Each structure stands twice: as C-alpha cells, then as structure tokens.
Structure 1
Amino acid sequence: MSIVGRIVSYCTKHARAVVVAGLVVAAGSMAYTAGNFAMNSDSGSLISPDLPWQKTMARFDKLFPQRNNLILVVIDSNAADRSNSAANALAAKLSADPKMFPAVHRPDGGAYFEKNGLLFLPEHCVQDAMGKLVQAQPFLGSLAADPSLRGVMASLSTMMLGVNSGQAKLADIDAPMNAFADTLDRTNAGKPDYLSWQSMFAAGDASNKECSFARTRTFIEVQPKLDYSSLMPGETAENAIRAAAKALHLTPDRGVTVRLTGPVPLADEEFASLSENGPLMGLAMFLAITFCLWLAVHSARIIVCILLTLGVGLAATTALGLLFVGIFNIISIAFIALFVGLGVDFAIQFAVRYRAERHAVGDLDKALNCAGRGVGIPLALAASATAAGFFSFIPTDYVGVAELGVIAGTGMVVAFVLALTFLPALIKLVKPAGEAERVGFTAFAPADKFLRENRRKVLAWGAAIGVVAVAAQIAFPPQFDANPLDLRSPKVESMSTLNDLFKDPDTSPNTIDVLAPNLAAADKLADKIVAADAAEAKANHREPLVGMALTLSTFIPQDQPKKLAIIQDTAMLLDSTVNPFEVKPPPTDAEIVVSLKAAAKSLHEATAKPADGKETAADKEARSDAIRLAKALDVLADAPAAKRQAATEALIPGLNDLLSQLRAALQAEPVDIHSMPPALVAEWVAKDGTARIQVSPHSSAHDNKSMKRFSKAVMAVAPNATGTPITIEESGQTIVRAFVQAGIWSFIAISILLAFVLRRHRDIMMTIIPLVLTLVLTLATCRIIGLQLNFANIIALPLLFGIGVAFNIYFVVAWRAGAQNLLQSSLTRAVLFSALTTASGFGSLILSSHPGTASMGILLMISLGWVLFTTLFFLPALLGPPPQKADGK
C-alpha cells in the first residue's frame, strides 16, 4: 500500500479523532485570526520600496509630507464670490480640528491671494480693474454704507436718477441690471441663486482669463488622519468634511456643490464599490458552487463534507497567512478566491474518485482507501506544482503578489493535506449511500473514438491555432493597463470629479514633481524643462507636451512697482468709499418693501422710450433688461417676507465678500519670499532648502499614451522626477516584470518537479505544452475582445496556471497508469465539474460594479474555457494510446 493509502486508511480508522482535531484546528485558527487580523489598504506598499523610482518618491514624500495622502475638496458655485467664500469658510472650519486634519491648504486662494491677487494680473488688467472700481465709486459707497437689500435698492434708485437726469444711459449699467434681473427672477420662481458681484466689479471681464482671477471653482487640499486598519482609511475624515460643509450650508440648494476626490477618496470609494452587492454576490457564488458540487457528486452528505473541508482549510490558511506575513494587503487578501478555486478541485478529485471506487468495490472503507491510493500521487504532484507556481512570486518586487504567493502556496499544502485526511474522515462519519451507477461520462464515448481516429488532425489543428495565437501575440502584444484609475467605477463621486478636472489642463491632477537643490536651481530647471519640450515639439512638428512648470518664484508677481502704484492711487480714492465711517443697521422687512417699490418706480420711469424714437440695439436691450428688473422688483415687493429673505441671501453674502476682498486687495504690498505665508513657502521649499517644481501637461488628454509621452518629456531633462504619471508607468513595468520573472521561475521549478516524478522528457512536455497553449489562447482572446490586463485581473493568471497544471498532471498520471478512454472516465467528470465549480463561483464577479473586479471575472471565464479545451480535447490527442507496461500487460 502506498504512503497516501496508509494515511487515508489511518484517518478513516480514527475518523472521529481526525474530524475533532480538524475542527479544533479550525477553531484555534479562527481565534488566532480574530486576535491578530490586520489589513493594510495602502496601495503604495504593494511594490518594493527599494526600487529607484520608489526611493525618489519616498524622498519627495519625506521632504514634503504635507503632499501625502491628500483629499482634494472641489467647490463649485455659479458665483465666484460664493465659491471663494465657501472655500474660506470650509477651510477655516477644518483647520479648527488639527487632530483630524493636520494640514489644510488653499492652493488657489486664502488671505495671501485675496490681498495680492491683483499683482498677478498683467498691468493693463490691473489698470482696467481699478478704473472700473473708480467708475463704480458712487454705487460702491452706498453699498458699503448699507450692505443690505435696502442698500442695493437705494443704489439702484440713485443710478436711475442719473439716467433720468441724462447724466448716464441705461446701456451703461445694463450688465448689473441684467445680473440683478436674472438672480431675482430665479429667486421669485423659488430657485435659490447667488449673484456674482466679482464679475461686475472685481477684475474685468470674467470670461477673459488673462484679466480675471475670479473662478467659480475653488479647491482645498486636506491631509487627514488615516486609519489603515480599516478598508476605507479616510472614511471618517471624508464624512467629517461633508458634515462640515452641510453645517456651513454649502449645499446644492444653497448654490454650492462640494465634492471630494484625490488619492484618499479614490481608494476609499474603490473599496466601497468592491463591496457593493457583496452579500448578494456571495450568496449567488455559494449557491452556484453548491449546485455544481451536486452535479459532480450527487450526494448532499458529500457536498457538506467538501464545504466543511474548504471551511477548515480556509480558516487554517488565513491564520498561517497572518503568521507568515503579519498584515494582509489589498492583493494578498485574494488568497481566499485562489484557495477556494483550487482547494475545491482537490476535494472534488478525491470525492469523485471515491464514488468511482465505491461503485467498483461497494465497501465504504475500501473505496476510501482505494481513492487515496488512486489520487494520492497526482494530487501531491498537482499541489506541489501549484504551490511552486505561487512561491515563485516571492523573489519579485511586486510585494503585494509576493505575499499572496506565500499565503496561496501555503494554502495549497493545507488543501492537499485536508483532502487526504479530514475529507475522507468526514465521509467515513457521514456514511453516504453507495453508487448504483458507474461514475463517468459514457456519453463521451464518441468523443474518445473521434480523438483516437483523428489524433493527427486534432494535433495539427491545435498546433495551427497555437501558431496563429503566438503570431498574434508577436504582432499585437498583450496590452497592460497600468493606470489604476481605469479600474474604478466612473459613477462614484471621486472619479466623476476627477474626470471633470481632467477636462482642463489648469486643473489636471496628472502633474509631475521635480526636486532641485535650491530655489534658484529650481527656476533654471523649470525653464529648461519647458524650453526643451518646446524645442522638441518644434523640431518634430507636434504639440508641446509640457504646459507649465511652477516653482515658488511663480508666486512672486512681476512688475510689482507699477501695479502697486496703480492700486495705491485707487486705494487713496476709494478708502472712505469701501470703509465708510458709519454703516446703517440691518433693515426691517417694511423698509425693504419700501426700497423695492422705490427702485421699481425709478426703473419704470427710466424705461420710457425716447421722444425722437431713435434707439440703438444696445439701448433696446438695456431697456428690456430694465423692464424685466422692474417687474421682478414689483413681484418681490408683493411676495411674502420669506421671498425677500431669499433675495437677501442671493445678493448680500456676495456683496459682503466683494467688499471684504476689495478692502484686502487695496492694501496690496510688495511681495517677496520673506513676506509669503510660511505654509505657502513650505509647499514649494523644504526645510533643508530643497525646492519643488510642479510640471503640468499641456493638453487635457489623460490617456495612458499621452501621460507616458508627457513623463518621457520631463524625465529627459529631469531623470529624478516623480508624480502620478511616472508612478503609473513605473509600477506597470514593475508588475509586468514581476509576472514574467515569476513565470520563468515557476516554469523552472515545475519542470524540475515533473522531471523528478515523471522522469520522462516526453511526459514532462505533454504536461507543459497544453498549459502554454492555454496561456497564448487566453491572451489572444483578450486581445480580440479588447480586454486589457490590469492590476486586478492579472491576479487571475496564477489561478489559471494552478488549475491548468493540476488538470494536466491528473491526465498525464492516469495515462501513464494505462487509463484509456479518458473522456469517459471519472477523472474527466472530476476535472469538468471542478472547472465549472470554479467558473460558476467566480464568474459572478462579472456582475460587480467595480470595473477591475468585473474584468477579473471575464478573464477567469476565458482562461477556464481554454483550460477545459486544452485539457479535454487537445491533451488526450497529444497523449495518444497509453504506454505499454514492461511485462506486456
């Protein structure tokens, strides 16, 4: 009796003790897991930190720690005043909780830019802006003295007096009238709106980017405290930001939209989408696996034994995994899928072989012992080969998969041991009924006959398909999508917001950072990067790849003396205007009604047609807007008080923000590095003097090819660059290299193992050739249907490798033992239903709302289909008639 047969015999004789021992191991494993379970969801830890580009990124992170793990808060409003004040208010509220938010930064605003923002505009824009403020002095003065709806109406009435007296024309004030009319019409209709005072007075034409720093979209960069023991480390901080925005009434019904994106929300929402419909998918997976097991073994008792064996094995593997690697990562946790997919194969192989032996010998104990002797060697060889394949990932730089290899390889050993100890003991205890019919597929007899009679044709067709597939791989190499963003659902807030930012090069997050010894060197290198790309673009007749290269010096305005002189002259004229000696108290509702009616009356008087009937197009448009505004004021005066309160909320907050910003802007002073806020300086110059350069792409295109070209253009001048585009490219190369290395090592290891056991070169080649054919057919199919390999679905390849090796070994060992008509045998039943069990279970991943997970399900189904094809049709033809034994029997 073989050693495996003796082990099975011993376990069946002491079935109760073996089962109890197995359950004790499971209970102990679950207790250990409960006390030591840890999960690291930091995707940055998945690749070896010793790689050059990882060291560059680590150095950057160390020098600028405030740039790590950011939440980007994107604030949108239809009024620039509103978005800016909303960002200021939210930033102040978040800064008040330094434990939850250690760093809060306004990259596009704050006190520094409000005070010195005009200095960043061209001189002619500053001149134009100051000129408009001087022209609006009377209007601004009355507003500053009475910043209320009453004050706005009084100012409007004053302007109409000027029109009626002939001192001004309606066309001169058409822009504010049109803005007031639009805002009040929407307010009267019950649609909250907010007037942008900045667009009328602050800095010229808001549509002219050169002369406007008013933006309806603002940003806050937040560095939160993260909890890496959670699958969503930033969830608490993100909820706190949303709660703060709600408390400040920064909501869509108040004209403000607050959205979160950036590395932290992207990672968190990815896990949220992964878990979406999780219970339903889990139930579907369980029912599908159970159904396939029923088709395989036709016994509820044996099914329970298999599932319980899988449960014990999974518990033991989880505990051993924690013991070996300490903390699971987002890749290594996939060992669960791999263990179930391969562990169920070992169990099905034993169970189906047991059924075949039970039909042959009748006795339960003899059937179990015979099954052990029959499947012992192929199971041991399959488990060893599969474990060797997983262990081959350990030496690679892809730490996530290396740790997965440790755990999954260990799991194969566990699954093998339990399939020959715990499972037979359980079957002995539950005493399933005997088998009345032969276990196998008699219906496959014509297929066996076809393969015998057309062996050469089948091999020729298999070889031809393989050659075509290989040629296709050479002509059209497999595509690996290294961009993790492509794996995420575009429907979640973080991704939809990010895609929105990608549309504008000025807001694209795909920037590259370069370090220089000091600011002077950074300025020179920034100019060199832009100039080199421009020269290359001109020489090759292409669009530039580099847009801007920013340093701290970018935030020091040019031509300050001239601009400051213009601003200071205006400040002398407007000081008493924007800083009145006396401000009126808030009005009563009755006073507001009186002011509304007075303003409406003055508008009606100003809209009378000229006596001579001559009117320009601009005059007609202005008169139409004035009539519309007068009607809106009449409606508002007769409406309930709540409507007037809504109008106040639509007009006055923006007015107060405008007045506050004007007061700050008129106090602009000379700017240099020493007068800059320390937080701004720290964003660009580290404590040791190392300066940062931020390079932005020229185009809004953010596809992988564009980002690769952009990265190459920057790294041609600055090889030490880092950033998202470079990280994506380098991590993709690292992962592909890891799988190639692991493939080579596993091929060598499995070849040595097969050589040691099978000893004949021909048998070794017949085990490996179908596996190679499966791989090239799988990759060719992916290329045809447009399925790219990515971070998620590439994990399916080890499962494909493991199942393919196992199935081929089963057939080769059976063939060496003299088995004929393989397709009719119980082995084919075991292989077929093992594959179907795995496919039905993990095929449900296709239904996932997470694109990466869904692509894993698709790749698994494709690979399993080709595994079955090569194993059940190509391999039997390749094997041919079984070898004759030495004695001729």
Structure 2
Amino acid sequence: MATQTSPIGRVVAFSAARPWVVLLLGLALSLAALLYTARHFAMTTDTAELISTDLEWRKREIAYDAAFPQQEDLIVAVIDGATAEIAESAAARLAAGLAERRGAFRSVRRPDGGPFFDRNGLLLLPLGTVQETTEALVRAQPFLGPLAADPSLRGVLGVISTVLEGVARGDASLRDIAPAAGALSDAFEAVLAGRPAFFSWRALIGGGQPGPREMRRFVLVQPVMDYSALQPGAAGSEAIRETARSLGLDPAHGVTLRLTGPVPLADEEFASLAQDAELVTGAMLLALLGILWLAVRSARFVAAILITTLLGLVVTAGLGLLAAGRFNLISVAFIPLFVGLGIDFSIQLSVRCLAEQGRHPDIRDALAAAGRGVGRSLALAAAAIAAGFFAFLPTSYVGVAELGLIAGLGIVVALLLGVTLLPALLVLMRPPAGGRAEFGYPALAPVEHALHRHRRAVLWIAALAAAGSAALLPFVRFDFNPLHLRSPEVESMRAIADLMADPDRTPNTISALLPSPERADVLARRLEALPEVSRTVTLDSFVPGQQEEKLALVADAAMLLLPALEGVQPLPPPEDAELVQRLGATAAALRRAASGAGDEPATAARRLAGALEGLAAASPDRRAAAAEAVTDPLATLLRQIRAVLSAGPVTRAELPAELAADWTARDGRVRLEAFPTGDPNDNANLRRFSAAVQAVVPEAVGVPISIQAAGDSVVEAFIQAGILSALAVTLLLALVLRRVRDVVLAMMPVLLSGLLTLATCAALDLPLNFANIIALPLLFGIGVAFNIYFVVAWRAGEHDLLQSSLTRAVVFSALTTATAFGALWLSSHPGTASMGRLLMISLGWELVVTLLFRPALLATSPEDAAGA
C-alpha cells in the first residue's frame, strides 16, 4: 500500500531511531534562526506600504503627498479652552514652545492662527458677522480704553466703579453691568472655593458664550518618525505632552489637549491592541493547553507539541526575514497562522501515534506506523496550504502578499519539524504506552450509521444550505472604513469623532491638484453645485470677499477705538494693600447701588459685592489668582482687538508663504479641497461623495477615496488569491489523487463551510473588514487540510471515519484553533475582536461539516465511487 512506502513514514521512522541527532540539528537550526532574527529584525508600521504603489490611485496619492510633504506624518494637537481667549493663548504658547524643539519636530504650524489670521481673520467672515462684531467693539469702547490703560484687577474694579457712579447720577443702571457682574462673580467665587476660575471678555462683549468652534484651536506638528518602533510617532507625541505640561496647559488652567491625526491614530492602535494582551494571551494559552491535553491525554505529548511549535515559530521568523527582508503590520499574523495550522500537523501525528500504541507498544514503532498512516495526507495538506498562501504573492495587497510568503514557508517548516523534531522529542520523553486499540470515538457509531442510511437526505440538506448561503452572499458587507476597527475609547479616536461632527473640520475631504487658480475656481463652482458637496476651499478662499464694505466697518471702529488702545502706557500692577482697599470700596458701592431693589440686576450686584468682600478678606494668593483670571484673557483680547483693527486689503500675492505653501505645490499647481454634505462618517455617504467628485475631477485624492480604493484593492486581492489558490489546490489534488470525483470530494466541504461562514456574516450583519479578512487564509488552510485527511484515509480503505482517531485529531485540531484564537473575541479592540468572532463562526461550521456532511459524502466505498 501507499502508506507502507510513504516518504514521510520513513522520515518519521528515521527521526525516531536517531532522536539526539535530530534534536541537536533542530536546536542548531532554531539557534541560527534566532541569531539571524536578532541581527536582522526589521518591521515597518507604515500602513502606506501595505498596498502596492503600482495602483493608479496610489500613484496619485503618492504624487499628491510629494507635492505637499508638510501634510505627511501629522500630529494634530486639538486644543479646547474653557474660553476663547484661553484656547487662543494656549495654541500660541504651545506652537512657540514646540518650535524651539527642533530635534523632535520637522515642522510646527497653526492652520487657524498666527499674524495673518489675527489681523485679517475677521474679514473672512460674512459681512453681517463683521458688522455685528465691529458694532459690539464700539459699544465696548467706554471700558476698553480704561482697561487698556490699567489692564489689572484694579482697572476692572475701576470700570465697575465708573458705571456705579453713573448709576448714582441716574445716567446708567445696574442692568448695564449685570452680565459682567454675573461672569465676574462666577470667576471670583471659583477662586475663593479653590476651583479653577475662567473668565471671558470676548463672551462679555459678544453678548453670549462662544460656540465650541470659537473655543477650539489647532497646532499641526510633523514629528521625527522612527519606523523601526511599533509606535513610530510616540516620541513626538510625548514631546508635545511634555511641552504642554511645562507650559501649564492642562484642565486646571482651562486647557484640554488631545492628539489625533495619522500618527497618533496609528500609534494608539498598537497601544489598544496591547491593552488586553495579557488577558487574550492568557486565555489563548489556557485554551491551547486544555484542548491539547484533552486531545492526547499525555503531558509529555503536550510538551513535545508545544516545543515543536515554539521552535517552528523561531525558524519561520528567521526564514521570513530572510525572504521578505522585514515584517509589516499584516505579515506578523504569521504567528497565529503558524500555530493554528502547524499545530494541526503535530496533533494528527500524535493522535495517530497514540492509536497505534495499542498495536505497537514501543514508541518508535508506533511513530513509524503513524508516519506511514498519515504521512501522505500530511504532505499533501501542507503542499495544498502552502500553495494557497503563495497564491497571495502576485496580488497588489503587499501586506498580505508578504504574509503569504512567510506563512507558506512556515507551513513547510511546520511539516518538517512535525515529522522530525516531534518524533525525536517523543522518543526522548518516553511517554508511557496507552494501550488504546483505537484512540477515536466509538460512541459515534450510531450517528455515523444514521448518516450513512440517510445519506441522500443529508446531502440534499447540505445542497439547500449551500444554495441558501449563496443567496445571502450579496448581503455580505465589507466595511472599508479603518476607523471602525479602532477602539473608540482612545484619545485620538474621541478627538477625531469630535472633528467629524463638525462639517467644516472633518478630515474626510477630497483634494485635487489643478494647473492654475483659474481652473481651480471653475471646478470649485462646478463642485459646489453638486448635492454631495457642501463647500470647496482654494487658496483664493483666503482672499476675503466684499473687502471694501468690510474694511469700511473696521475703519470706523478703529477710528473710535485705536486712540484709546494704542500709544497707551499701562499702569503697573497694584500693590496688594491697594487692591484690598479697592475691593472693599467697590463692594460697598455695589451694595449701595443695589439697596432696596430685588430685581435680577440688584441680586447680581449684591452677589458680586459678596465675592469682592470675600477676596478682600482672603489671602494674597487668592487675590493674585482672581487677578490672573481676569487679566490674562484681557491681555489676549486687547492684542486681538488691536490686530483686527489694523486689517487692510488682502490679495493673493500678500498671503503668507506658509499658507500659500499649503495650497500651492512647488511646481505651481494649486489645491482644491471639497467637503461632503451629510454624515462624513457614513460609508454610503462617502461613496456617493467620492463618486460625485471624481466624476468632475478624476485625478482627485483624499481619505474617502483612498479608504474605499484600499478596501476595493483588498477585496480584489483576496478574490484573485482565492481563485489562484483554488486552482493551485485543485491542480495539486488532481495530480496526486488522479480522480476527478476525489478532488470534488476534497473541495466540496471547503466550499460549503466557506458559504455557511459568509452567510452567517450576512445574516448577523457582521461585516468583513481589514482585520478579520486576514483570518480567511487560516480558515481556508484548515478546511483544505481536514478534507485531504479524510479523502486520503477513505481512499486507503479506512471505514467508519467518524469513529476513528482521525476524527478525534480533526475535532481537537479545530477546537484548539477555535478556542485559542477565539480568545481574540475577548479583546476590547474592535478589529481584533472581529477576527476572533469570524474564526469562531467559521471553525464552528467546519466542525458541523466534519461531523455531519463529510461522513455522508464519503459513505460509499472508493471502489464503488470509482465504478460510478
């Protein structure tokens, strides 16, 4: 028989006869691989390298990135202030502090601040807003001048006292200072209570609290990246946080700093993956040990299997580095793939060896018999699985192509060590003979007989299940948005979720490079006419419209305000004793003005009087904190007002070089940016937006286009690899089995379990994504291997397969993989959890097919099948 002359059987027998030689050779090979890995280890965490640069959309993306290198590898520092003044001051101070750390950052810039926006930002707003703002400034003129002359708490108290004098004369009323009294009371009471105190002059002048947009600023930072680290931008992010801490930019001072953008998103992805690493790893190891023990019921067999698997991982890592030169974010998945598939070979040989020990008490003889019994099927399964992995090599998905190369080599390693090192270890460990004539499931005999009797019914049910599953395939979704795979709890994701909620600041925009500003203006108008586009931005968007009318309003305000704001020598801060006296005098004046009245303005005046009296009686530190709460935002406000009132005509030529560089490439081409309407985080909306823009500007690039194109490329790569691997495996089986029916018998269960898995995903609305799709090669490999084992055993004349040691090995191999890697489901990381979920679903169906469909499929004898 073929099994008696199996080359694998002879290799097993040779290894069992010379265990020390094989062990030393295995250790030497592992040591060499370990040394090579230590000296040549390289890993890239750059996600841009996962997809081939030969694709047209990647070429456009690379060309665009080359035109604007300042937009690559960005950390977006999102600064939210308790007030608009705090946000502006914090952003300016952080940008200045980061600019001094030249070794850590390539560039630091403010896209929404700086001298140009300070001076001309008002002109970029609608004419009505400009009019409202200048009128509010004019109304505030009576107290802006005195505050500019004395920008201290004493000056603030002086302004209040001046109004109170008007109240006493009947020229004013307490209602005029009620808003200020309420805001000052809030701040001073917070100081007295030891809480952070925040006061906004801008809110006071504007007559209302500014919205989140006015209290949010940005600093764009390009860190020096270290792609040899798992978190390439971690050092840059830490430098930003360290600078912020040194400047006191923290919640205690009214500042919330969050980092987002491509760099923190990628870095925190690894941090979130590692968050549950101990839990997931512990669950994996416990499941692996538990199922292995149940499979072989021998600690020595378990130890031999684990040692073989561990050394195989070391050898595969070295071979992978030698072949691919480095690992990437996807190719490191060779670890679970190797364990899931490689351990199957060891389980098959071990379980068969245990079964053979009933006839061959000597472990060497049992191993030799096991090698003869399963060697051919192991070799064929390994060849088929490796061919399936190597089918990924010609695809454009570079990450998976490199995974296919390394995993394919790993399968070869797993087979070689499984038939050499494992037998040697077992001989050296000398496990006691089990004396089990058949290490299988005799209790399943009634089930198997029932499946044989009702073979046609079972096959019809399977056919209907396959047809129903095929009908559900159009409903299988692929979620191409990588943000949906990230933990929503990490800082970078929370920050970007906030930005996406703002249609004017969403990162899901589309850009295009155009030959001239005139061409950009023409296309901008065409795009803005589309219902999928909310607005467009070009360099000319920073040249204000209706400048003549706006500048006239600014000039009128400047004529009234600038004389009191410029050329004024501010008074020095008061001594504490003087401040105590002023606090008491102002409090007394407030109480006199409010005496006898019970309306809201009078109540607000008495409340402020109480706060001032509290400050007068408090420690000097409390008074200093109260002064800081009102004078720091005052300094920011006065600086901003002076800048706004100096606004002048703006032309394209006068735009700052840094701003122009963000919108004009070095070769003179200009950038056009389009913003979507609707939900910028909805996949369907992004598809419509991308299609509409590309219909007008085919060369456009951007996040909505790239993530969809990447998703399409991934799906196309898997379809291409699936077709190639199916052809390769089918051809291999045809060459070895030499009967069409046997090839069909080997492939039908793979097809059925795959259809059932995808149908379950559709029925439960579990989309495929960039993470869980990596599990498909593992599932395909396991399915092919299991089917080959059964078909080869069936061809060799073995009967009652459901009761055999083969079924035991297959069941426990599936359970080992399912429970070990199903532990990924425990991860709080959505992408990792989705991979564990898909593995569990697929392996569950694989067990169903193994226990129910396959016995019915192989119910006839090989001779009858050949005759048929």
Q: TM-score range by the shorter chain?
A: over 0.9
Aligned counterpart, 1:541: none
Question: Which SS does the other structure have where 2:862 is aligned?
Answer: coil
Tell me the amino acid that sits aligned with residue 449 of structure 1.
H
Q: Does 1:441 align with 2:428?
A: no
Is the 1:199–1:214 contact (alpha carbons within 8 Å) kept by the matching residues of 2? no
Q: Deviations over 1:681-733 (max 9, x none)?
A: 10111111111111112234411111111111211211111111111111111
Aligned counterpart, 1:734: 713
Aligned counterpart, 1:574: 561
Deviation at 1:208, TM superposition (A): 8.3
CA distance in 2, matches of 1:580, 1:401: 67
Question: Structure 1 433/215 Cα, relative in aligned 2: closer, same or farther at 3 Å?
Answer: same
Question: Which SS does the other structure have where 1:716 is aligned?
Answer: helix
Question: Which SS does the other structure have where 2:681 is aligned?
Answer: coil
Aligned-residue CA RMSD in angstroms? 1.9
Aligned partner (choices 561, 577, 592) of residue 579 of structure 2: 592
CA distance in 2, matches of 1:602, 1:579: 31
Aligned counterpart, 1:455: 455
Gaps of 5+ in 2: none
Is the 1:607–1:626 contact (alpha carbons within 8 Å) kept by the matching residues of 2? yes
Is the 1:194–1:649 contact (alpha carbons within 8 Å) kept by the matching residues of 2? no
Is the 1:466–1:776 contact (alpha carbons within 8 Å) kept by the matching residues of 2? yes
Aligned counterpart, 2:21: 17
Question: Structure 1 360/167 Cα, relative in aligned 2: closer, same or farther at 3 Å?
Answer: same
Tell me the amino acid that sits aligned with residue 396 of structure 1.
T
Aligned counterpart, 1:753: 732
CA distance in 1, matches of 2:432, 2:71: 66
Aligned partner (choices 4, 11, 14) of residue 8 of structure 2: 4
Question: Which SS does the other structure have where 2:101 is aligned?
Answer: coil
Tell me the amino acid that sits aligned with residue 344 of structure 1.
I
Q: Deviations over 1:505-532 (max 9, x none)?
A: 122111111111122221221111112x
Aligned counterpart, 2:36: 32
CA distance in 2, matches of 1:363, 1:28: 33
Q: Deviations over 1:462-499 (max 9, x none)?
A: 1121111112224x2x1000110000111111111111
Is the 1:192–1:646 contact (alpha carbons within 8 Å) kept by the matching residues of 2? no
Question: Structure 1 184/699 Cα, relative in aligned 2: closer, same or farther at 3 Å?
Answer: farther
Question: Which SS does the other structure have where 2:220 is aligned?
Answer: strand
Aligned partner (choices 789, 797, 809) of residue 788 of structure 2: 809
Q: Does 1:527 align with 2:525?
A: yes
Is the 2:357–2:436 contact (alpha carbons within 8 Å) kept by the matching residues of 1? no
Q: How does 1:848-887 map to 2 (within 5 A)?
A: 848-884=827-863
CA distance in 2, matches of 1:246, 1:525: 45
Q: How does 1:596-675 map to 2 (within 5 A)?
A: 596-609=583-596, 620-675=599-654
Aligned counterpart, 2:778: 799
Is the 2:84–2:210 contact (alpha carbons within 8 Å) kept by the matching residues of 1? no
Aligned counterpart, 1:540: none
Aligned partner (choices 551, 555, 567) of residue 542 of structure 2: 555
Question: Structure 1 162/444 Cα, relative in aligned 2: closer, same or farther at 3 Å?
Answer: same
Aligned counterpart, 2:495: 497
Deviation at 1:124, TM superposition (A): 4.3
Deviation at 1:275, TM superposition (A): 0.8
TM-score (norm 2): 0.97
Is the 2:148–2:568 contact (alpha carbons within 8 Å) kept by the matching residues of 1? no
Aligned counterpart, 1:367: 366
Q: Does 1:716 align with 2:695?
A: yes
CA distance in 2, matches of 1:177, 1:600: 11
Tell me the amino acid that sits aligned with residue 224 of structure 1.
P
Aligned counterpart, 1:75: 79
Deviation at 1:887, TM superposition (A): 14
Is the 1:144–1:577 contact (alpha carbons within 8 Å) kept by the matching residues of 2? yes
Question: Structure 1 580/591 Cα, relative in aligned 2: closer, same or farther at 3 Å?
Answer: farther
Q: How does 1:78-477 map to 2 (within 5 A)?
A: 78-201=82-205, 204=206, 215-438=214-437, 439-474=439-474, 476=475
Is the 1:383–1:413 contact (alpha carbons within 8 Å) kept by the matching residues of 2? yes
Deviation at 1:109, TM superposition (A): 1.4
Is the 2:679–2:685 contact (alpha carbons within 8 Å) kept by the matching residues of 1? no
Deviation at 1:6, TM superposition (A): 2.1
Deviation at 1:668, TM superposition (A): 1.5
Aligned counterpart, 2:806: 827
Aligned counterpart, 1:837: 816
Deviation at 1:553, TM superposition (A): 0.5
Deviation at 1:174, TM superposition (A): 2.9
Give the total of aligned pairs: 862
Is the 1:800–1:860 contact (alpha carbons within 8 Å) kept by the matching residues of 2? yes
Question: Structure 1 367/642 Cα, relative in aligned 2: closer, same or farther at 3 Å?
Answer: same
Question: Which SS does the other structure have where 1:667 is aligned?
Answer: coil
Tell me the amino acid that sits aligned with residue 682 of structure 1.
A
CA distance in 1, matches of 2:559, 2:468: 82
Question: Which SS does the other structure have where 2:219 is aligned?
Answer: strand
Is the 2:78–2:218 contact (alpha carbons within 8 Å) kept by the matching residues of 1? yes
CA distance in 2, matches of 1:127, 1:168: 26
Which is further off, 299-308 or 79-88?
Answer: 299-308
Q: Deviations over 1:80-105 (max 9, x none)?
A: 01101111110111111233221212
Q: Deviations over 1:547-597 (max 9, x none)?
A: 110011111112223333332343343333113533211222222211111
Deviation at 1:178, TM superposition (A): 2.6
Aligned counterpart, 1:507: 505
Deviation at 1:127, TM superposition (A): 3.7
Deviation at 1:297, TM superposition (A): 1.2
Runs of 4+ in 1 over 6 A off after TM superposition: 885-888
CA distance in 1, matches of 2:182, 2:815: 69
Aligned partner (choices 750, 759, 764) of residue 785 of structure 1: 764
CA distance in 2, matches of 1:126, 1:309: 75
Which is further off, 277-286 or 47-56?
Answer: 277-286
CA distance in 1, matches of 2:131, 2:367: 95
Tell me the amino acid that sits aligned with residue 450 of structure 1.
A
Which is further off, 633-642 or 73-82?
Answer: 633-642
Question: Which SS does the other structure have where 2:80 is aligned?
Answer: strand
Is the 2:357–2:363 contact (alpha carbons within 8 Å) kept by the matching residues of 1? yes
CA distance in 1, matches of 2:575, 2:181: 24
Deviation at 1:460, TM superposition (A): 1.6
Q: How does 1:27-66 map to 2 (within 5 A)?
A: 27-66=31-70
Is the 1:145–1:580 contact (alpha carbons within 8 Å) kept by the matching residues of 2? no
Is the 1:206–1:214 contact (alpha carbons within 8 Å) kept by the matching residues of 2? no
Is the 2:97–2:243 contact (alpha carbons within 8 Å) kept by the matching residues of 1? yes
Tell me the amino acid that sits aligned with residue 89 of structure 1.
R
Gaps of 5+ in 1: 534-543
CA distance in 2, matches of 1:122, 1:337: 58
Tell me the amino acid that sits aligned with residue 41 of structure 1.
T
CA distance in 2, matches of 1:114, 1:647: 27
CA distance in 1, matches of 2:19, 2:167: 104
Question: Structure 1 594/428 Cα, relative in aligned 2: closer, same or farther at 3 Å?
Answer: same
CA distance in 2, matches of 1:640, 1:40: 57
Question: Which SS does the other structure have where 2:218 is aligned?
Answer: strand
Deviation at 1:179, TM superposition (A): 2.1
Deviation at 1:5, TM superposition (A): 2.2
Is the 2:361–2:435 contact (alpha carbons within 8 Å) kept by the matching residues of 1? no
TM-score (norm 1): 0.94
Aligned partner (choices 477, 485, 492) of residue 483 of structure 2: 485
Aligned counterpart, 1:725: 704
